[in-house]
Structure 1
Amino acid sequence: MRLSRKNRGDALARTPQVTSDVEADSVLAARGPSTRSWHRLPVAALLAAGALSTSVVVAQAGGEDDFTSDPAGWDETEAGIPVTDSLTMQKCGTCHAPDADGNLSRISWIRATPEGWAQTIKRMVKLNGLEIEPGEAREVVKYLSTYHGLAPEEAKPVMYLAEKRIQDETIVPNDTLRQTCASCHAFAQPMSSRRSKREWGLLENMHRALYSTAEFIYETPVGGGYDENGGAGDSDGAKPEKQAIAALKWLSENAPLHTPEWSAWRPRIRAPKLGGKWLVSAEMRGHGRFVGEMTIAPREPGSDEYITSTVLRSLKDGSVHTRKGASLIYGGFSWRGSSLGAAPSAAPDDLDSKLRETLWFAPDQTMAMGRWYWGEYHEFGYDVTLRRESGAPVLAAISLDALKTGTKGAEVHIYGANLPADLAAGDIDFGSGTKVAKLVSVTPGEAVVTLDIAANAVPGPRDVTVGSAVLQKALPVYASVDYVKVTPDTALAHLGGIKYAKGFEQFAAWGYSNGPDGKEGTKDDFAIMPIEATWSLGEFITTTYDNDTKFVGALDAASGLFTPNVEGPNPERRFGRNNYGEVWVVATAKNFAGKDGKPLVGRSYLVTTVPTYKRWDQPEVSE
């Protein structure tokens, strides 16, 4: 998840790689990770953690209904999902006992993403002696992530985890879940699975056994409540509920094994038929927007593995990039693949680099969305949308980022597929306050028009309509650029270059409108377009002797690409410290000024930290 400025104290201990499956990363993760709760607790409470660190759950008074007894002693009362695949039965059934209904213990009461099941299999190999060939493992993951996976509606909100995005998580429901789950890994991790109540409890048991910090956090009362001796206290004498129980209740209720989404999806599961041509629109921070086409062909008839050929054209500079790749589909909608450009170079942000593809396909198989990414820390990537070319007109993008009110005769290229040859100017609509003055030309893949924007047009994004095809929010109309935002607003880079690879960061400056209400920072504000800016670093003051701007790395003044410094102690720095640090990344607009006549300025918070010295087992599905 994305760092926030208020939590910058943990910044050097946090990396985007700590996102492996909440069950499967147990033994492999570092002991004693940084947690946000510890700095608020007295020393006696911290010492109490040591006494708890070797314990496993001990049965307590009470029954299953009140969540206070040991889940290992609970009977599984929920209906399981029978395992019907012979290979999965063969490889898993020797340890996971079958029952008369075809269920396998534990497995039949868990549903998870492809990454979750792949990580579980790796854990079984490392810790439990499972013998399985890579090809067999892939088939088992295919089966489990399809018939013991998530429904599309359940998977979509947590796709950012599989897409390797670093972002602020908005799905953490409360502080208790932030402490018990999201203090060590993304909250998308547990929400990438669905489990019975007993299985959620057993998952907590595993964390207690393997992590002293988990045991300590679980035993913490909701809301804290430690007295000076490290014991639980409450002003009114009531015994507060422990965070473990509160978290277990929430997960059991909000991420149960059986859901309406799964019940509706389970009978609809089918082999996907994705072969054909797909219209591609993509955007990459610092490189602008792209349009193109992807041809998808099954590796063999009826296969869920595909080979791909993609052509992308930059709308910024007209450069063309071709790619060849391969992929497979899990669950009928989860695309995992890789591709390579025609002529990759050593440049870290080279658009022809070998990349991984993660896409979510809509259940009706008419569109897909996701991220294609690369980099040592997955820091570079395209945001991608695919639209199936089925013979009807379909739209992908327009040539302009935005238009100002009062503009006359602007030439706009509309990119799509199957545009009708008899298209007329009246068939094209850019919304209120706009007028298509002339249809200049039309081909099946592109229509060119001249467009007028009324001086009193209401600012905001406009849909573009060509016949029956609609491209939503394709053209922002603005009266003025009111302020600048830098994306990402908080960022993480890694030192490297000697023994370890560098972790770069690409920044972009966006002009924003205050919206119809004219007030900055309200809900009707909208992003207008990326703008040209001059880039610089500013000191983020934490101590008087830091001078981080001199040591963390270099920011390209023209492109906004940050290149971190080398790793290792620096004798030129006070105390011989490493080159880590915190800085502001400042963008000064070249062509837009505020009411005071000075250039608009935006900034982002950047933490440059040490390399990830130890890579824990990665959760992504192997190629």
Structure 2
Amino acid sequence: MIERLRKGHVAGLAGLLLLMPVPSLAQDGATLLEENCGGCHEADANGVLSRIGGQRKTPEGWLMTIVRMRLFHGMEIELPVQSQLVHYLADTQGLAPSETEGYRYILEREPAVVENIEAPLGEMCSRCHSSARFALQRRTPEEWALHIDFHVGQWPTLEYQAQGRDREWLKLAREEVVPLLAEKYPLESEAWSRWLEAQKPAASGSWVFATRLPEKGEAYGRLEVSGDSQPYSVSGTLKTAGGEELPVSGKLNVYTGYEWRANLDIGGTAYRQVLAISEDGNSLSGRQFLHAEDSLGSTFRAAKAGGKPVVVGAVPSTLPAGTSATVQIVGTGLEGIGLSGAIEASGGAANAFGSAIDVSPSAGTDGAVAIASAGASLDDGLAVYSHIDSLKVEPSFAVARVGGGGGSAAKVPARFDAVGYWNGPDGQPGTEDDVRIGVVPASWAVAPFNEEAEHLKDAEYAGKMNESLGIFVPAVAGPNPERPFSTNNAGNLKVLATSGEATGEGQLIVTVQRWNDPPIR
């Protein structure tokens, strides 16, 4: 399935350009900035270039700015120099780790986040793009005002497209939105000042990790990061819960001292990582996804080997009762594993990824298992179940996109997990006291979401669901003469999961192609 998705799909702009080597050039970053940007941006008495000096952005944000200068203003710059500039700007005018909290989903290309933005920003800004896009910028009040003017100048019909005919859009933007943006997202902040002075964590060394692969499920492994200059070399091994061992290799760039951007080959399949190194340098977290299709991915958690004792996770993380298994406790600094709760066990065989421990939960066993070792612990990393009271589909709402058919936009699939729950003290499913078991095996299907979807035969035309993987691949783009009005293969579907006697339901919208897909949506 993944191979079929990869064919004809061009890798994302950020994936290609943010992994460019950083050459050892004679000029430093400030000189390169002056040489490549000073022709249009005037320097003040302190040598700070107009517009540029009043902004801070993520590496993706600076990349988008430079690409826009090339596309719309004829800027001529070689890709190695562009890479150097992105690094320089992200390092000197980036965002502190705390300033990206709550908005990293947009950098990590998480496909199923539903934003809830209050007015006026929800009305004035988020009608066209994500709120994370402006929340991951910092500007002076003057720059926020110029940003409004830029929008009107670049898109003259903006006021009408943004449903602005019922209000004085430009007046509201200048008098209400600009002060609010300047207050919430100012250029100068204590967090950024502290981060500029802080010692940056090292990416080099060994990392033990836990993640999931789209078709292979839960996995764990070890990465080795080496090299004296960027991009660093990455090598390692990944093991699936099923016992398959895959080699890992690739390249890594680090921006702003903590922004980890890697392109990896895992067993012959290209993946991309958008992660963040913790401020203390001991952990790593974010999302890993297919380079060819960022909707197919999962969370990625890692700990620096040789650091303080840490339990990253357990693979597998859910166990049917009455079966024997070897559970890999992923972590570092572990000295003997202790399991308590639904399973009582101790010991384990140390390995390069942590420690492996054999367990045999009795039939009829239900409950969470706490993991402890050498002062490190994890309360919710493992669960044993003999029954499931209720099942939830995650995400509960998702979007897939038709594609292919000779066009430049490939199909955008959607992936779902079935998450089991036990009833809480109230004995009722679907209430706040329910206890999460974790991801469990399930069979998958789709059905029309409503009467209109049934009438239009959306389940027949919109695409196919893989019955065991929970991956939905949409149909081909373009008019379909078999449908009413020869409409395309869009659809409104129920996503149905079944595990034992438990069932769960989600919603999937299959819609048209996304023609403009920038690094920050």
Contact persistence 1:440–1:450 (CA under 8 A): no
Distance in 2, Cα, partners of 1:99 & 1:357: 39
User: What's the offset of the Cα at 1:450?
Assistant: 4.3
SS at match of 1:157: coil
Counterpart check, 1:439 vs 2:369: no
Contact persistence 2:310–2:377 (CA under 8 A): yes
Distance in 2, Cα, partners of 1:307 & 1:168: 32
One-letter identity of the residue aligned with 1:117: W
Which of 500, 514, 517 is 2:423 aligned to?
514
Counterpart check, 1:566 vs 2:476: yes
Contact persistence 2:128–2:162 (CA under 8 A): no
Contact persistence 2:348–2:355 (CA under 8 A): no
Counterpart check, 1:358 vs 2:268: no
Counterpart check, 1:207 vs 2:133: no
**What whole-Å deviation, never above 9, does each CA across 1:154-191 have from its counterpart, x for those lacking one?**
12322211211113344x54132112111111111001
User: What's the offset of the Cα at 1:216?
Assistant: 3.8
One-letter identity of the residue aligned with 1:328: N
* Stretch of structure 1 that moved more, 578-587 or 523-532: 523-532
Counterpart check, 1:278 vs 2:187: no
Q: Structure 2 vs 1, CA of residues 181 and 231 (structure 1 numbering), >3 Å: closer, same or farther?
A: closer
Contact persistence 1:326–1:338 (CA under 8 A): yes
Q: Structure 2 vs 1, CA of residues 567 and 197 (structure 1 numbering), >3 Å: closer, same or farther?
A: same
Runs (4 or more) in structure 1 with deviation over 4 Å come to: 217-220, 407-413, 440-444, 449-457, 477-480
Contact persistence 2:91–2:255 (CA under 8 A): yes
Residue 231 of structure 2: aligned partner: 305
Q: CA RMSD in A?
A: 3.3
Which of 285, 309, 313 is 1:397 aligned to?
313
Counterpart check, 1:466 vs 2:373: yes
Report matched runs for 1:78-477 at 5 Å: 85-170=30-115, 172-212=116-156, 214-216=158-160, 220=164, 242=172, 245-268=175-198, 270=200, 272-284=201-213, 287-298=216-227, 301=228, 303-315=229-241, 317-342=242-267, 344=268, 353-374=269-290, 376-390=292-306, 393-402=309-318, 412-420=327-335, 423=336, 428-431=337-340, 433=341, 436-439=344-347, 441-443=349-351, 445-448=354-357, 450=359, 462-476=369-383
One-letter identity of the residue aligned with 1:278: W
User: What's the offset of the Cα at 1:275?
Assistant: 1.6
- Structure exhibiting the larger radius of gyration computed from Cα positions: 1
Q: Percent identity?
A: 30
User: What's the offset of the Cα at 1:417?
Assistant: 3.9
Residue 578 of structure 1: aligned partner: 488
Q: Structure 2 vs 1, CA of residues 391 and 107 (structure 1 numbering), >3 Å: closer, same or farther?
A: closer
SS at match of 2:188: coil
Q: Structure 2 vs 1, CA of residues 285 and 514 (structure 1 numbering), >3 Å: closer, same or farther?
A: farther
Q: Structure 2 vs 1, CA of residues 555 and 434 (structure 1 numbering), >3 Å: closer, same or farther?
A: closer
TM-score, length of structure 1 as denominator length: 0.72
Kindly tell me the number of residue pairs found equivalent between the two proteins: 493
**What whole-Å deviation, never above 9, does each CA across 1:450-477 have from its counterpart, x for those lacking one?**
47799999x6x55421112223521246
SS at match of 2:260: strand
* Stretch of structure 1 that moved more, 471-480 or 282-291: 471-480
Residue 605 of structure 1: aligned partner: 507
Residue 499 of structure 1: aligned partner: 406
Could you tell me which runs of 5 or more consecutive residues in structure 2 were left unpaired when the two chains were aligned.
Answer: 1-9, 15-27
Contact persistence 1:114–1:149 (CA under 8 A): yes
User: What's the offset of the Cα at 1:479?
Assistant: 8.2
Contact persistence 1:117–1:141 (CA under 8 A): yes
SS at match of 1:199: helix
SS at match of 1:175: coil
**What whole-Å deviation, never above 9, does each CA across 1:51-80 have from its counterpart, x for those lacking one?**
xxxxxxxxxxxxxxxxxxxxxxxxxxxxxx
* Stretch of structure 1 that moved more, 151-160 or 435-444: 435-444
Q: Structure 2 vs 1, CA of residues 93 and 463 (structure 1 numbering), >3 Å: closer, same or farther?
A: farther
Q: Structure 2 vs 1, CA of residues 354 and 306 (structure 1 numbering), >3 Å: closer, same or farther?
A: same
Distance in 1, Cα, partners of 2:218 & 2:76: 46
One-letter identity of the residue aligned with 1:262: W
Residue 519 of structure 2: aligned partner: 619
Distance in 1, Cα, partners of 2:134 & 2:170: 25
**What whole-Å deviation, never above 9, does each CA across 1:221-241 have from its counterpart, x for those lacking one?**
xxxxx8xxx577xxxxxx998
One-letter identity of the residue aligned with 2:459: T
Query: Which structure's residues are more often strand, by fraction?
Result: 2
Distance in 2, Cα, partners of 1:122 & 1:441: 51
SS at match of 1:312: strand
Distance in 2, Cα, partners of 1:560 & 1:387: 29
Could you tell me which runs of 5 or more consecutive residues in structure 1 were left unpaired when the two chains were aligned.
Answer: 1-16, 22-82, 221-225, 233-238, 345-352, 592-598
* Stretch of structure 1 that moved more, 120-129 or 494-503: 494-503
User: What's the offset of the Cα at 1:440?
Assistant: 5.8
TM-score, length of structure 2 as denominator length: 0.85
One-letter identity of the residue aligned with 2:381: A
Contact persistence 1:438–1:449 (CA under 8 A): no
SS at match of 1:569: coil
Distance in 2, Cα, partners of 1:109 & 1:231: 30
Counterpart check, 1:555 vs 2:465: yes
**What whole-Å deviation, never above 9, does each CA across 1:241-272 have from its counterpart, x for those lacking one?**
835533223211111111221121121264x5
Q: Structure 2 vs 1, CA of residues 516 and 154 (structure 1 numbering), >3 Å: closer, same or farther?
A: farther
SS at match of 1:166: coil
Residue 54 of structure 1: aligned partner: none
SS at match of 1:242: helix
Distance in 1, Cα, partners of 2:284 & 2:348: 31
Residue 58 of structure 1: aligned partner: none
Report matched runs for 1:15-26 at 5 Å: none
User: What's the offset of the Cα at 1:395?
Assistant: 2.9
Distance in 1, Cα, partners of 2:54 & 2:170: 30
Q: Structure 2 vs 1, CA of residues 557 and 411 (structure 1 numbering), >3 Å: closer, same or farther?
A: closer
User: What's the offset of the Cα at 1:212?
Assistant: 4.4
Distance in 2, Cα, partners of 1:479 & 1:260: 51
Residue 21 of structure 2: aligned partner: none
**What whole-Å deviation, never above 9, does each CA across 1:4-24 have from its counterpart, x for those lacking one?**
xxxxxxxxxxxxx9x999xxx
One-letter identity of the residue aligned with 1:471: L
One-letter identity of the residue aligned with 2:252: S
One-letter identity of the residue aligned with 2:512: V
